[in-house]
Amino acid sequence: MSAEAANPGAPLRRRGRARIDLRRIGRVALLGPVSRDRLPDAIGHVADAHRAHHPDADLTVLHRAYVLAESSHRGQMRKSGEPYITHPLAVTLILAELGAETTTLTASLLHDTVEDTEVTLDQVREQFGEEVCYLVDGVTKLEKVDYGAAAEPETFRKMLVATGNDVRVMSIKLADRLHNMRTLGVMRPEKQVRIAKVTRDVLIPLAERLGVQALKTELEDLAFAILHPEEYERTRALIAGSGGPDDPLAEVAERVRTTLRDAGISAEVLIRPRHFLSVHRVRVKRGELRGTDFGRLLVLVTDDADCYAVLGELHTCFTPVISEFKDFIAAPKFNLYQSLHTAVVGRDGAVAEVLIRTHQMHKVAEAGVVALGNPDSTAAQQSEPADGERADPTRPGWLSRLLDWQESAPDPDTFWTTLRADLAQDREITVFSADGGTLGLPAGASCVDAAYARYGDGAHGCIGARVNGRLATLSTVLSDGDTVQPLLSQDAASGPSPDWLDHARTAAARIAINAWLDAHPEDQQPPSGRADAPRPQSQPQPTQPADDPRRGPGKEGARVASVAVDGPGTAVRLAGCCTPVPPDEVTAFTVRGGAVTVHRTECPAVARMRATGRPPVAARWNEGEWQDAGECRVTLVAESFGRPRLLADLTEAIASADAAIVSATVEPPSEQRVRHTYTLQIPDAAGLPGLMRVMRDVPGVYDVSRAQHQAATG
């Protein structure tokens, strides 16, 4: 293992760069101002790290920012006993190592001046411009004197709103929290736990969503050490005892280097140790750690094509673990991450996980949005599509959704609770709307979430959805790539049911549903949208038989509604489970008492009787006679979305087709869908297709079919 295994949470450092002594830097800062012709020694390390990523950067503004920060913080000390200037220097160094541009570093040096010194925002604006002033204001905390217990949630709300305009605000906040977590040991234990919990629940998920893995992993380890000290120490001991000269991961790495070299692929193969929390998670998942579980192989290449070339060689020369393969290059994660993931089996069955990416992908994987610079730069503006929706990756969709719902959560407690719940959803899917647009939703989102993401409060009238062209309930969970079309009621008074909260995963949907329910308590019983539907009986009532025999003698056998069966004088009945009418294809079976029951051939009862070995009886309609058979009965099932006046509209449509309702059942509604079963007397079987067509035309009805089971009416 590399030296990083002893402290896997530490950020990656360039070779040859020594660890920086912040205590010494603080002492240098106390020496006072320096000559104008050179940078202060205290920020020399920041300058070196910055120039490593931006060789042509103008450091003059950093010089001026440092002078203002040092002079304004002079005399202030941290709880650790260090000069306070060491904190903004450390935060700036973290960002410089990640490749942040000059404006971000300038604001980072000044990020505590307005909050903790006499410097004002107007002074910052005058000396460094509007951009730096905005970033400093974005990370400045709200005063507890003014906000009381709501100061912390309202401060985060303020930062998130500012981040919506410039994501660099959150970059500075994350670096600020990282340095504070590194030095948290001087705080009281209860305060350490409180800060660590907020870091775990809010800052770490934000770092993950912004793709800043270098900050996220170290924050995870620092919070892990405070919140679970025993597990942390156990994991530390396991890591300390790993590696050595017989490290199986080092052996696999050397074989991979040889394989790629022989294939003529230029690649850098590194061993990437897992950080503490990652090792702990693997141990919990597998029970016992293997030698290759303490790290992963990282293969860095020049371009995308080389990534797939490396993958091909590894899967050819090693035994791959197919279930571990993931392609995040073709389908990047929502936090900008791109890489190929696979696992191969080495000697003695050792399984090594392998990450394959380009150097640019690696930079973005480590630094995320920090590496993307100014979101308002010319390059970012050129990425904006014609429809006005930004494609800029520094303005991710999840952040836009968060900013939308926070406006509907004026109460600080509601905002704080909802924010933590929203950030706990760590995976995102993309679904398509019927007009070709896209919606970003958290994994596990349902049609309810898609409706509110698409229509806002207009989704209160949603009565169903089509998913990939098929009708679906509102509770249907969506998958990545689905096409979803919410169906809205035309009734402006319709609203959501309390059951919708069981299916809503997004904060926006839950807040909107709760707001509507709070404003309409009287509409929640019976479920909203079906106020005029008849209250269903606790048990279905027996239907009137739809198979009254109409017997008549004939030369070829007994007839009922012009049905002929073999066997003269046989009693014939039309089955009530499928109510056959001419010209349905029919078959018959002898039942108890010697009578014959005629079924439609597709009736499920036919298959059951055939399965028991019961022989069918030939049955047929008498062509030329069945047109004169007169009235007949039929059972129809109407599937619909619930809405007011639906039952009245269906009854009116049936009457307009000259059909009489013998009996009807409206089953208890389920997930905004209602099932109606009607036994109807129609004047002529030839009018059945027209009747079904008229019923389908009723708004809200999406299917009408012949009954395929014993009719349950009431």
Query: Could you give the residue numbers annotated as active site?
Result: 115-116
Contact by Cβ (8 Å): 444, 450: no
How far apart (Å, rounded) are the C-alpha atoms in residues 128 and 591? 95
Beta bridge partners of 619: 565
d(CA 236, CA 132) in angstroms, rounded, equals 41
* CB contact at 8 A, 707 and 635: yes
Distance CA 180, CA 178 (A): 5
Q: For the stretch 356-395, what's the b/e string if a residue is b when 16 or more beta carbons lie within 10 angstroms of its beta carbon?
A: bbbeebbbbbbbbbbbbbbbeeeebeeeeeeeeebebbbb
DSSP codes joined into one string, 404-465: HHHTT--SHHHHHHHHHHHHT---EEEEEETTS-EEEEETT-BHHHHHHHHHGGGGGGEEEE
Burial of 15 by CB count in 10 Å (0-12 exposed, 13-18 middle, 19+ buried)? exposed
**Whether the Cβ atoms of residue 404 and residue 509 lie closer than 8 Å to each other:** no
Scanning 299-354, the segments in alpha helix (DSSP H) are 304-317
Read out DSSP for 383-403? T--TTS----TTS-HHHHHHH
Which amino acid is residue 76, in one-letter code? Q
Cα–Cα distance list, 325 to 290, 344, 353, 413 (Å):
20, 10, 10, 42
Contact yes or no for 485/465 (Cβ under 8 A): yes
Phi, psi of 83 (to 5 degrees): -60, 140
| φ and ψ of 502, to 5 deg | -70, -20
Region of 561 (left: φ > 0; alpha: ψ -120 to 50; beta: rest) is left
Amino acid at 711: A
Say if residues 243 and 299 touch (Cβ distance below 8 Å).
no
Q: Do residues 479 and 450 make contact, with C-beta atoms less than 8 angstroms apart? A: no
**Rounded to an integer, what distance in angstroms lies between the CA atom of residue 364 and that of residue 661?**
68
Residue 578: name the closest of 637, 513, 645 by CA. Answer: 637
Cis peptide before 526 (omega within 30 of 0): yes
CB neighbour list of residue 652: distance below 8 Å, 6 or more residues apart: none
d(CA 624, CA 613): 34
- How crowded is residue 338: how many other Cβ atoms within 10 Å of its Cβ? 21
| Contact indicator for 613, 619 with CB cutoff of 8 Å | no
Structure tokens that stand for 568 in this block: 């003269």
